[in-house]
A = this chain, B = another copy of it.
Amino acid sequence: MSSQNIHQLDEIFHPKSLAVVGASASEPGAGWVARQIQFGFKGTVYPVNPRATEIDGLKCYPTLRDIPGPVDYVIFNVPLRLAPQIMEDCVAKKVKIAHIFTAGFSETGTAEGKQTEARVAAIAKAGGVRVLGPNCMGLHYPAEGITFNSSHSKQPGHLAFISQSGAGANRFIGLANSRGIYFSKAISYGNAIDLNASDLMEYLTSDDETRIIACYTEGVREGQRFFNAVKNCTKTKPVVMLKAGLTEGGAGAAASHTASLAGSVSTWNAFFKQTGTIQVNSLEEIADVVLALSLMTSPKGRRVGIVGRGGGLGVMATDACERAGLKVPPFVPETRQRLLNVIPEVGAGVRNPVETDARFSGIADFYTNGLKIVAADPQIDFILTHIGVDVYGGRVNDLQGEMARTADVLARVAPTLPKPVAIVLYPGEHLKAISAVLETRERLVKAGIPVYPTIDAAARAVNRLIDYHEFLKTINQG
Protein backbone atom coordinates (compact mmCIF):
# COMPACT_ATOMS: atom_id res chain seq x y z
CA MET A 1 0.00 0.00 0.00
CA SER A 2 1.40 3.37 -0.97
CA SER A 3 1.70 6.09 1.66
CA GLN A 4 -1.10 7.87 -0.18
CA ASN A 5 -3.35 4.87 0.35
CA ILE A 6 -2.36 4.70 4.00
CA HIS A 7 -3.29 8.35 4.36
CA GLN A 8 -6.62 7.68 2.64
CA LEU A 9 -7.37 4.78 4.99
CA ASP A 10 -6.58 6.91 7.98
CA GLU A 11 -8.98 9.54 6.72
CA ILE A 12 -11.83 7.12 6.07
CA PHE A 13 -11.46 5.63 9.55
CA HIS A 14 -12.15 9.09 11.00
CA PRO A 15 -15.60 9.82 9.57
CA LYS A 16 -17.56 12.93 10.49
CA SER A 17 -20.85 11.27 9.63
CA LEU A 18 -22.10 7.71 9.54
CA ALA A 19 -25.24 6.23 8.03
CA VAL A 20 -26.81 2.85 8.77
CA VAL A 21 -28.75 1.63 5.73
CA GLY A 22 -31.31 -0.88 6.85
CA ALA A 23 -31.40 0.62 10.34
CA SER A 24 -33.64 -1.56 12.46
CA ALA A 25 -36.74 -0.06 14.03
CA SER A 26 -37.60 -3.34 15.73
CA GLU A 27 -34.67 -3.55 18.16
CA PRO A 28 -34.52 -0.13 19.88
CA GLY A 29 -31.27 0.41 21.74
CA ALA A 30 -29.67 -2.71 20.27
CA GLY A 31 -29.09 -2.15 16.53
CA TRP A 32 -26.27 -0.60 14.54
CA VAL A 33 -27.52 2.96 15.10
CA ALA A 34 -27.81 2.57 18.86
CA ARG A 35 -24.39 0.95 19.07
CA GLN A 36 -22.61 4.01 17.65
CA ILE A 37 -24.59 6.37 19.87
CA GLN A 38 -23.91 4.29 22.98
CA PHE A 39 -20.23 3.97 22.07
CA GLY A 40 -19.85 7.75 21.87
CA PHE A 41 -19.49 8.46 18.13
CA LYS A 42 -18.99 12.23 17.98
CA GLY A 43 -20.09 12.78 14.38
CA THR A 44 -23.62 12.62 13.00
CA VAL A 45 -25.46 9.29 12.78
CA TYR A 46 -28.15 8.90 10.08
CA PRO A 47 -30.56 5.96 10.22
CA VAL A 48 -31.80 4.99 6.74
CA ASN A 49 -34.99 2.97 6.39
CA PRO A 50 -37.94 3.76 4.10
CA ARG A 51 -40.40 2.28 6.58
CA ALA A 52 -39.49 4.38 9.65
CA THR A 53 -39.44 8.08 10.51
CA GLU A 54 -37.36 7.87 13.66
CA ILE A 55 -34.96 5.24 15.03
CA ASP A 56 -33.28 5.43 18.42
CA GLY A 57 -34.36 9.04 18.72
CA LEU A 58 -32.85 10.10 15.40
CA LYS A 59 -34.64 11.23 12.23
CA CYS A 60 -34.75 8.39 9.75
CA TYR A 61 -34.26 8.88 5.99
CA PRO A 62 -35.90 6.78 3.24
CA THR A 63 -32.64 6.45 1.28
CA LEU A 64 -29.01 7.52 1.52
CA ARG A 65 -29.62 10.14 -1.16
CA ASP A 66 -32.23 11.84 1.02
CA ILE A 67 -29.69 12.72 3.69
CA PRO A 68 -29.06 16.47 3.48
CA GLY A 69 -25.34 16.61 4.41
CA PRO A 70 -22.33 14.55 3.33
CA VAL A 71 -21.95 10.94 4.54
CA ASP A 72 -18.44 9.53 5.10
CA TYR A 73 -19.16 6.07 6.43
CA VAL A 74 -22.02 3.68 5.59
CA ILE A 75 -22.96 0.44 7.27
CA PHE A 76 -24.97 -2.00 5.10
CA ASN A 77 -27.56 -3.87 7.14
CA VAL A 78 -29.78 -4.85 4.18
CA PRO A 79 -30.76 -8.05 2.39
CA LEU A 80 -28.29 -9.31 -0.22
CA ARG A 81 -30.40 -8.27 -3.25
CA LEU A 82 -30.43 -4.61 -2.19
CA ALA A 83 -26.64 -4.33 -1.85
CA PRO A 84 -25.86 -3.19 -5.43
CA GLN A 85 -28.45 -0.39 -5.28
CA ILE A 86 -27.16 0.79 -1.91
CA MET A 87 -23.63 0.83 -3.28
CA GLU A 88 -24.87 2.97 -6.20
CA ASP A 89 -26.31 5.34 -3.61
CA CYS A 90 -22.94 5.39 -1.81
CA VAL A 91 -21.21 6.39 -5.03
CA ALA A 92 -23.79 9.13 -5.68
CA LYS A 93 -23.35 10.37 -2.11
CA LYS A 94 -19.51 10.34 -2.41
CA VAL A 95 -19.27 8.01 0.61
CA LYS A 96 -15.65 7.29 1.64
CA ILE A 97 -16.11 3.81 3.08
CA ALA A 98 -18.82 1.18 3.11
CA HIS A 99 -18.89 -1.53 5.74
CA ILE A 100 -21.00 -4.34 4.30
CA PHE A 101 -22.33 -6.32 7.27
CA THR A 102 -24.73 -8.09 4.91
CA ALA A 103 -23.87 -11.77 4.33
CA GLY A 104 -24.88 -14.27 1.64
CA PHE A 105 -22.19 -13.28 -0.91
CA SER A 106 -19.40 -15.46 -2.30
CA GLU A 107 -18.94 -17.19 1.07
CA THR A 108 -22.11 -19.18 0.36
CA GLY A 109 -20.71 -20.58 -2.87
CA THR A 110 -24.00 -19.80 -4.64
CA ALA A 111 -24.12 -18.19 -8.09
CA GLU A 112 -26.34 -15.39 -6.79
CA GLY A 113 -23.93 -14.65 -3.97
CA LYS A 114 -20.88 -14.61 -6.21
CA GLN A 115 -22.51 -12.46 -8.89
CA THR A 116 -23.88 -9.94 -6.41
CA GLU A 117 -20.47 -9.68 -4.75
CA ALA A 118 -18.79 -9.01 -8.11
CA ARG A 119 -21.35 -6.34 -9.00
CA VAL A 120 -21.02 -4.55 -5.65
CA ALA A 121 -17.22 -4.66 -5.91
CA ALA A 122 -17.27 -3.23 -9.42
CA ILE A 123 -19.64 -0.39 -8.47
CA ALA A 124 -17.53 0.51 -5.44
CA LYS A 125 -14.25 0.42 -7.34
CA ALA A 126 -15.54 2.49 -10.24
CA GLY A 127 -17.13 4.96 -7.82
CA GLY A 128 -14.13 5.31 -5.50
CA VAL A 129 -15.82 3.86 -2.42
CA ARG A 130 -13.53 1.79 -0.19
CA VAL A 131 -15.13 -1.35 1.24
CA LEU A 132 -14.86 -3.38 4.43
CA GLY A 133 -16.45 -6.78 3.86
CA PRO A 134 -18.94 -8.02 2.88
CA ASN A 135 -19.94 -10.59 5.51
CA CYS A 136 -18.08 -9.03 8.44
CA MET A 137 -18.48 -7.07 11.66
CA GLY A 138 -16.40 -4.15 10.36
CA LEU A 139 -14.67 -1.60 12.56
CA HIS A 140 -14.34 -1.36 16.35
CA TYR A 141 -12.57 1.90 17.13
CA PRO A 142 -13.03 3.05 20.73
CA ALA A 143 -11.27 6.42 20.30
CA GLU A 144 -13.72 7.30 17.50
CA GLY A 145 -16.79 5.76 19.11
CA ILE A 146 -17.40 3.29 16.27
CA THR A 147 -18.20 -0.33 17.08
CA PHE A 148 -20.15 -3.46 16.26
CA ASN A 149 -20.73 -4.22 19.97
CA SER A 150 -21.19 -1.33 22.37
CA SER A 151 -20.87 -3.56 25.43
CA HIS A 152 -17.11 -3.67 24.83
CA SER A 153 -14.87 -1.20 26.63
CA LYS A 154 -14.71 2.37 25.31
CA GLN A 155 -11.20 2.76 26.67
CA PRO A 156 -8.71 3.22 23.80
CA GLY A 157 -5.54 1.12 23.89
CA HIS A 158 -2.61 0.23 21.67
CA LEU A 159 -3.56 -3.23 20.37
CA ALA A 160 -4.88 -3.55 16.83
CA PHE A 161 -6.72 -6.74 15.88
CA ILE A 162 -7.26 -7.85 12.29
CA SER A 163 -9.75 -10.69 12.04
CA GLN A 164 -11.09 -12.91 9.31
CA SER A 165 -13.75 -14.01 11.79
CA GLY A 166 -16.45 -11.68 13.07
CA ALA A 167 -17.49 -13.88 15.99
CA GLY A 168 -13.80 -14.42 16.76
CA ALA A 169 -13.19 -10.66 16.87
CA ASN A 170 -16.20 -10.13 19.10
CA ARG A 171 -15.16 -12.82 21.55
CA PHE A 172 -11.54 -11.74 21.53
CA ILE A 173 -12.33 -8.09 22.29
CA GLY A 174 -14.47 -9.16 25.25
CA LEU A 175 -11.86 -11.47 26.69
CA ALA A 176 -9.01 -9.03 26.05
CA ASN A 177 -10.89 -6.16 27.74
CA SER A 178 -11.52 -8.35 30.77
CA ARG A 179 -7.78 -9.06 30.97
CA GLY A 180 -6.94 -5.33 30.88
CA ILE A 181 -6.14 -5.09 27.16
CA TYR A 182 -7.63 -2.23 25.15
CA PHE A 183 -7.78 -1.53 21.45
CA SER A 184 -6.58 1.07 19.01
CA LYS A 185 -8.72 -0.61 16.34
CA ALA A 186 -10.19 -4.04 15.72
CA ILE A 187 -11.24 -4.83 12.18
CA SER A 188 -13.26 -7.79 10.95
CA TYR A 189 -12.79 -7.73 7.16
CA GLY A 190 -14.85 -10.70 5.93
CA ASN A 191 -14.75 -11.52 2.21
CA ALA A 192 -12.37 -8.58 1.57
CA ILE A 193 -13.58 -7.48 -1.87
CA ASP A 194 -11.46 -4.36 -1.29
CA LEU A 195 -9.55 -3.89 1.98
CA ASN A 196 -7.77 -7.09 2.95
CA ALA A 197 -5.35 -8.33 5.60
CA SER A 198 -2.33 -6.92 3.75
CA ASP A 199 -3.87 -3.44 3.42
CA LEU A 200 -4.76 -3.43 7.10
CA MET A 201 -1.34 -4.73 8.15
CA GLU A 202 0.37 -1.97 6.16
CA TYR A 203 -1.95 0.67 7.53
CA LEU A 204 -1.53 -0.43 11.15
CA THR A 205 2.26 -0.63 10.79
CA SER A 206 2.25 3.13 10.27
CA ASP A 207 -0.60 3.85 12.69
CA ASP A 208 0.64 5.89 15.66
CA GLU A 209 -2.16 4.62 17.90
CA THR A 210 -1.08 0.99 17.43
CA ARG A 211 1.89 -0.59 19.20
CA ILE A 212 1.04 -4.30 18.85
CA ILE A 213 -0.86 -6.08 16.06
CA ALA A 214 -2.74 -9.34 16.51
CA CYS A 215 -4.31 -11.23 13.68
CA TYR A 216 -6.75 -14.11 13.14
CA THR A 217 -6.46 -15.55 9.66
CA GLU A 218 -7.66 -18.67 7.89
CA GLY A 219 -5.81 -17.93 4.65
CA VAL A 220 -4.44 -15.00 2.66
CA ARG A 221 -4.79 -14.34 -1.04
CA GLU A 222 -1.73 -12.24 -1.91
CA GLY A 223 0.74 -14.41 -0.02
CA GLN A 224 3.93 -12.59 -0.93
CA ARG A 225 2.44 -9.19 -0.22
CA PHE A 226 1.16 -10.32 3.17
CA PHE A 227 4.58 -11.81 3.96
CA ASN A 228 6.27 -8.50 3.09
CA ALA A 229 3.73 -6.49 5.07
CA VAL A 230 4.20 -8.62 8.18
CA LYS A 231 7.99 -8.72 7.80
CA ASN A 232 8.09 -4.96 7.56
CA CYS A 233 5.79 -4.60 10.56
CA THR A 234 7.71 -6.85 12.97
CA LYS A 235 10.80 -4.64 12.68
CA THR A 236 9.01 -2.07 14.82
CA LYS A 237 5.81 -3.67 16.14
CA PRO A 238 5.26 -7.25 17.29
CA VAL A 239 2.73 -9.32 15.33
CA VAL A 240 0.83 -12.11 17.13
CA MET A 241 -0.97 -14.46 14.78
CA LEU A 242 -3.56 -17.20 15.17
CA LYS A 243 -3.38 -19.06 11.88
CA ALA A 244 -6.43 -21.32 11.83
CA GLY A 245 -6.83 -24.34 9.58
CA LEU A 246 -3.38 -25.87 10.08
CA THR A 247 -4.81 -29.30 10.86
CA GLU A 248 -6.47 -31.51 8.24
CA GLY A 249 -9.95 -31.01 9.64
CA GLY A 250 -9.25 -27.34 10.30
CA ALA A 251 -8.23 -26.78 6.68
CA GLY A 252 -11.53 -28.28 5.55
CA ALA A 253 -13.45 -26.15 8.03
CA ALA A 254 -11.63 -22.99 6.87
CA ALA A 255 -12.38 -23.76 3.23
CA SER A 256 -16.03 -24.13 4.18
CA HIS A 257 -16.08 -20.99 6.34
CA THR A 258 -14.22 -18.40 4.24
CA ALA A 259 -13.25 -20.34 1.11
CA SER A 260 -9.66 -19.92 2.31
CA LEU A 261 -6.75 -22.03 1.19
CA ALA A 262 -5.32 -22.80 4.59
CA GLY A 263 -1.81 -23.66 3.34
CA SER A 264 0.66 -26.18 4.70
CA VAL A 265 2.18 -26.33 8.15
CA SER A 266 5.70 -26.12 6.69
CA THR A 267 4.88 -23.03 4.62
CA TRP A 268 3.40 -21.26 7.60
CA ASN A 269 6.22 -22.32 9.92
CA ALA A 270 8.65 -20.72 7.47
CA PHE A 271 6.42 -17.64 7.39
CA PHE A 272 6.40 -17.32 11.19
CA LYS A 273 10.14 -17.84 11.46
CA GLN A 274 11.17 -15.48 8.66
CA THR A 275 8.81 -12.69 9.67
CA GLY A 276 9.37 -13.03 13.42
CA THR A 277 5.62 -13.48 13.90
CA ILE A 278 4.55 -14.86 17.26
CA GLN A 279 2.34 -17.86 16.50
CA VAL A 280 -0.41 -18.80 18.95
CA ASN A 281 -3.18 -21.40 18.99
CA SER A 282 -6.09 -19.75 20.73
CA LEU A 283 -7.72 -16.38 21.36
CA GLU A 284 -6.78 -16.70 25.04
CA GLU A 285 -3.15 -17.13 24.03
CA ILE A 286 -3.24 -13.94 21.96
CA ALA A 287 -4.31 -12.09 25.12
CA ASP A 288 -1.57 -13.82 27.14
CA VAL A 289 1.16 -12.79 24.73
CA VAL A 290 -0.17 -9.25 24.26
CA LEU A 291 -0.11 -8.73 28.04
CA ALA A 292 3.55 -9.74 28.19
CA LEU A 293 4.43 -7.58 25.18
CA SER A 294 2.54 -4.60 26.65
CA LEU A 295 3.61 -4.69 30.25
CA MET A 296 6.93 -6.50 30.61
CA THR A 297 10.41 -5.48 29.64
CA SER A 298 12.02 -8.49 28.02
CA PRO A 299 13.89 -10.69 30.49
CA LYS A 300 17.62 -11.11 29.72
CA GLY A 301 17.15 -14.87 29.49
CA ARG A 302 14.75 -17.73 30.15
CA ARG A 303 15.62 -18.44 33.80
CA VAL A 304 12.64 -17.90 36.07
CA GLY A 305 12.36 -17.57 39.84
CA ILE A 306 9.04 -19.03 41.01
CA VAL A 307 7.33 -17.69 44.13
CA GLY A 308 4.11 -19.00 45.63
CA ARG A 309 2.44 -20.83 48.48
CA GLY A 310 2.38 -24.64 48.48
CA GLY A 311 5.28 -27.04 47.91
CA GLY A 312 3.51 -29.34 45.46
CA LEU A 313 2.00 -26.38 43.63
CA GLY A 314 5.57 -25.09 43.23
CA VAL A 315 6.74 -28.39 41.74
CA MET A 316 3.84 -28.34 39.26
CA ALA A 317 4.64 -24.71 38.41
CA THR A 318 8.26 -25.65 37.80
CA ASP A 319 7.28 -28.46 35.43
CA ALA A 320 4.93 -26.12 33.56
CA CYS A 321 7.65 -23.49 33.13
CA GLU A 322 10.20 -25.97 31.87
CA ARG A 323 7.69 -27.57 29.48
CA ALA A 324 7.06 -24.10 28.05
CA GLY A 325 10.77 -23.67 27.28
CA LEU A 326 11.90 -21.80 30.40
CA LYS A 327 14.48 -22.85 32.99
CA VAL A 328 13.99 -23.02 36.77
CA PRO A 329 17.54 -23.18 38.20
CA PRO A 330 18.31 -23.40 41.93
CA PHE A 331 19.08 -20.07 43.60
CA VAL A 332 22.66 -19.42 44.76
CA PRO A 333 23.28 -20.33 48.44
CA GLU A 334 23.31 -16.69 49.52
CA THR A 335 19.78 -16.17 48.19
CA ARG A 336 18.53 -19.27 50.02
CA GLN A 337 20.05 -18.07 53.30
CA ARG A 338 18.51 -14.63 52.93
CA LEU A 339 15.11 -16.20 52.14
CA LEU A 340 15.29 -18.35 55.28
CA ASN A 341 15.59 -15.15 57.27
CA VAL A 342 12.29 -13.78 55.97
CA ILE A 343 10.33 -17.06 56.03
CA PRO A 344 9.89 -18.21 59.62
CA GLU A 345 8.08 -21.40 58.65
CA VAL A 346 9.79 -24.78 59.05
CA GLY A 347 10.43 -26.59 55.81
CA ALA A 348 9.35 -23.88 53.36
CA GLY A 349 11.10 -24.19 50.00
CA VAL A 350 13.89 -21.69 49.36
CA ARG A 351 15.73 -23.45 46.55
CA ASN A 352 13.51 -22.23 43.67
CA PRO A 353 10.59 -22.46 43.67
CA VAL A 354 10.29 -20.53 46.92
CA GLU A 355 7.30 -20.85 49.23
CA THR A 356 5.76 -17.80 50.80
CA ASP A 357 4.75 -17.71 54.44
CA ALA A 358 1.66 -19.64 55.55
CA ARG A 359 0.18 -16.96 57.79
CA PHE A 360 -2.97 -15.53 56.32
CA SER A 361 -1.49 -12.11 55.72
CA GLY A 362 1.90 -13.61 55.09
CA ILE A 363 1.56 -13.45 51.34
CA ALA A 364 1.62 -9.70 51.37
CA ASP A 365 4.26 -9.64 54.11
CA PHE A 366 6.57 -11.90 52.18
CA TYR A 367 6.33 -9.89 49.01
CA THR A 368 7.61 -6.79 50.77
CA ASN A 369 11.03 -8.38 51.31
CA GLY A 370 11.11 -11.77 49.61
CA LEU A 371 10.70 -10.56 46.04
CA LYS A 372 13.74 -8.28 46.38
CA ILE A 373 15.84 -11.22 47.50
CA VAL A 374 14.65 -13.40 44.62
CA ALA A 375 15.17 -10.61 42.07
CA ALA A 376 18.74 -10.12 43.29
CA ASP A 377 19.69 -13.75 42.56
CA PRO A 378 22.17 -13.85 39.66
CA GLN A 379 20.77 -17.17 38.41
CA ILE A 380 17.36 -15.80 37.39
CA ASP A 381 16.13 -13.40 34.72
CA PHE A 382 12.54 -12.78 35.81
CA ILE A 383 9.97 -13.72 38.47
CA LEU A 384 6.70 -15.62 38.26
CA THR A 385 4.52 -15.29 41.35
CA HIS A 386 1.53 -17.63 41.66
CA ILE A 387 -1.36 -16.92 43.98
CA GLY A 388 -4.50 -18.98 44.57
CA VAL A 389 -7.50 -17.71 46.49
CA ASP A 390 -7.21 -20.88 48.58
CA VAL A 391 -3.86 -19.79 50.03
CA TYR A 392 -5.74 -17.19 52.05
CA GLY A 393 -7.18 -20.05 54.04
CA GLY A 394 -10.69 -20.22 55.37
CA ARG A 395 -10.97 -16.51 56.12
CA VAL A 396 -13.20 -15.84 53.12
CA ASN A 397 -14.96 -13.04 54.99
CA ASP A 398 -11.92 -10.86 54.58
CA LEU A 399 -10.83 -12.38 51.28
CA GLN A 400 -11.27 -9.23 49.24
CA GLY A 401 -9.34 -7.20 51.80
CA GLU A 402 -6.49 -9.71 52.03
CA MET A 403 -6.18 -9.95 48.27
CA ALA A 404 -6.27 -6.19 47.85
CA ARG A 405 -3.46 -5.92 50.37
CA THR A 406 -1.42 -8.46 48.44
CA ALA A 407 -2.07 -6.61 45.20
CA ASP A 408 -1.05 -3.29 46.73
CA VAL A 409 2.23 -4.72 47.99
CA LEU A 410 2.96 -6.31 44.62
CA ALA A 411 2.07 -3.13 42.79
CA ARG A 412 4.41 -1.17 45.04
CA VAL A 413 7.31 -3.62 45.06
CA ALA A 414 7.35 -5.04 41.52
CA PRO A 415 8.22 -1.78 39.70
CA THR A 416 11.22 -1.27 41.99
CA LEU A 417 12.78 -4.64 41.16
CA PRO A 418 15.65 -4.95 38.67
CA LYS A 419 13.88 -7.82 36.83
CA PRO A 420 10.40 -8.15 35.32
CA VAL A 421 7.55 -9.84 37.21
CA ALA A 422 4.48 -11.72 35.97
CA ILE A 423 1.67 -12.84 38.26
CA VAL A 424 -0.41 -16.00 38.06
CA LEU A 425 -3.71 -15.46 39.82
CA TYR A 426 -5.80 -18.63 39.70
CA PRO A 427 -9.38 -17.83 38.71
CA GLY A 428 -11.12 -19.09 41.84
CA GLU A 429 -14.04 -21.49 42.05
CA HIS A 430 -17.11 -19.79 43.51
CA LEU A 431 -18.58 -16.39 42.76
CA LYS A 432 -17.24 -14.64 45.84
CA ALA A 433 -13.70 -15.77 45.15
CA ILE A 434 -14.00 -15.06 41.43
CA SER A 435 -15.19 -11.55 42.21
CA ALA A 436 -12.17 -10.94 44.47
CA VAL A 437 -9.87 -12.32 41.77
CA LEU A 438 -11.32 -10.05 39.05
CA GLU A 439 -10.87 -7.03 41.30
CA THR A 440 -7.30 -7.99 42.21
CA ARG A 441 -6.41 -8.67 38.60
CA GLU A 442 -7.66 -5.26 37.56
CA ARG A 443 -5.60 -3.58 40.29
CA LEU A 444 -2.45 -5.40 39.25
CA VAL A 445 -2.81 -4.86 35.50
CA LYS A 446 -3.53 -1.16 36.11
CA ALA A 447 -0.28 -1.08 38.05
CA GLY A 448 1.45 -2.44 34.96
CA ILE A 449 1.92 -6.07 36.04
CA PRO A 450 0.68 -8.79 33.66
CA VAL A 451 -1.70 -11.31 35.26
CA TYR A 452 -2.34 -14.84 33.98
CA PRO A 453 -4.90 -17.48 34.92
CA THR A 454 -2.43 -20.38 34.86
CA ILE A 455 1.31 -20.97 35.10
CA ASP A 456 1.21 -22.57 31.63
CA ALA A 457 -0.28 -19.42 30.12
CA ALA A 458 2.24 -17.16 31.83
CA ALA A 459 5.24 -19.33 30.99
CA ARG A 460 4.30 -19.66 27.32
CA ALA A 461 3.63 -15.94 26.99
CA VAL A 462 6.93 -14.84 28.54
CA ASN A 463 8.75 -17.41 26.43
CA ARG A 464 7.20 -15.83 23.31
CA LEU A 465 8.12 -12.34 24.49
CA ILE A 466 11.75 -13.48 24.73
CA ASP A 467 11.49 -15.14 21.28
CA TYR A 468 10.39 -11.84 19.75
CA HIS A 469 13.20 -9.87 21.35
CA GLU A 470 15.71 -12.46 20.16
CA PHE A 471 14.28 -12.08 16.66
CA LEU A 472 14.74 -8.31 16.90
CA LYS A 473 18.37 -8.86 17.88
CA THR A 474 19.04 -11.12 14.89
CA ILE A 475 17.57 -8.66 12.37
CA ASN A 476 19.42 -5.75 13.96
CA GLN A 477 22.69 -7.69 13.79
CA GLY A 478 22.01 -8.81 10.22
- CA–CA, A437 and B351, complex, Å: 40
- CA–CA, A209 and B152, complex, Å: 48
When the two chains form their complex, are residues A107 and B347 in contact, meaning their CB atoms are under 8 A apart? yes
When the two chains form the complex, which single residue of B163, B311, B438 contacts A257, counting CB atoms closer than 8 Å?
B311
A306 to chain B minimum Cβ distance, whole angstroms, is 8
- CA–CA, A435 and B393, complex, Å: 23
When the two chains form their complex, are residues B151 and A108 in contact, meaning their CB atoms are under 8 A apart? no
A188 (CB) vs chain B CBs: closest residue? B312
- Which of A45-53, A70-78, A247-255, A416-424 is the interface stretch? A247-255
- Which of A56-64, A171-179, A407-415 is the interface stretch? A171-179
When the two chains form their complex, are residues A319 and B390 in contact, meaning their CB atoms are under 8 A apart? no
Asked if A378 CB lies within 8 Å of chain B CBs, one says: no
When the two chains form their complex, are residues A253 and B347 in contact, meaning their CB atoms are under 8 A apart? no
When the two chains form their complex, are residues B310 and A247 in contact, meaning their CB atoms are under 8 A apart? no
When the two chains form the complex, which single residue of B170, B320, B352 contacts A281, counting CB atoms closer than 8 Å?
B320
- List which A65-120 residues lie within 8 A (CB) of chain B: 80, 103-104, 107-108
Write the A214-254 contact mask toward B (1 if CB under 8 angstroms, else 0).
00101000000000000000000000001011111110111
- Collect the chain B residues with CB atoms within 8 Å of residue A252's CB: 318, 328, 330, 351
- Collect the chain B residues with CB atoms within 8 Å of residue A174's CB: 390, 429
Asked if A284 CB lies within 8 Å of chain B CBs, one says: yes
Write the A182-198 contact mask toward B (1 if CB under 8 angstroms, else 0).
00000000000000000
When the two chains form their complex, are residues A165 and B313 in contact, meaning their CB atoms are under 8 A apart? yes
Asked if A277 CB lies within 8 Å of chain B CBs, one says: no
When the two chains form the complex, which single residue of B175, B245, B349 contacts A319, counting CB atoms closer than 8 Å?
B245
When the two chains form the complex, which single residue of B165, B256, B435 contacts A431, counting CB atoms closer than 8 Å?
B435
Asked if A283 CB lies within 8 Å of chain B CBs, one says: yes
Write the A308-327 contact mask toward B (1 if CB under 8 angstroms, else 0).
01111111101111110001
- Collect the chain B residues with CB atoms within 8 Å of residue A30's CB: 393-395
When the two chains form the complex, which single residue of B164, B314, B391, B394 contacts A151, counting CB atoms closer than 8 Å?
B394
- 7 examples of A-B residue contacts, CB within 8 angstroms: A151-B394, A167-B310, A171-B310, A246-B319, A249-B318, A254-B315, A258-B312
**Residues of chain A at the chain B interface (Cβ within 8 Å):** 30, 80, 103-104, 107-108, 135, 149-151, 163-168, 170-171, 174-175, 177-178, 216, 218, 242, 244-250, 252-254, 256-258, 281-284, 309-316, 318-323, 327-330, 346-347, 349, 351-353, 388, 390-391, 393-396, 426-427, 429-431, 434-435, 438, 454, 456
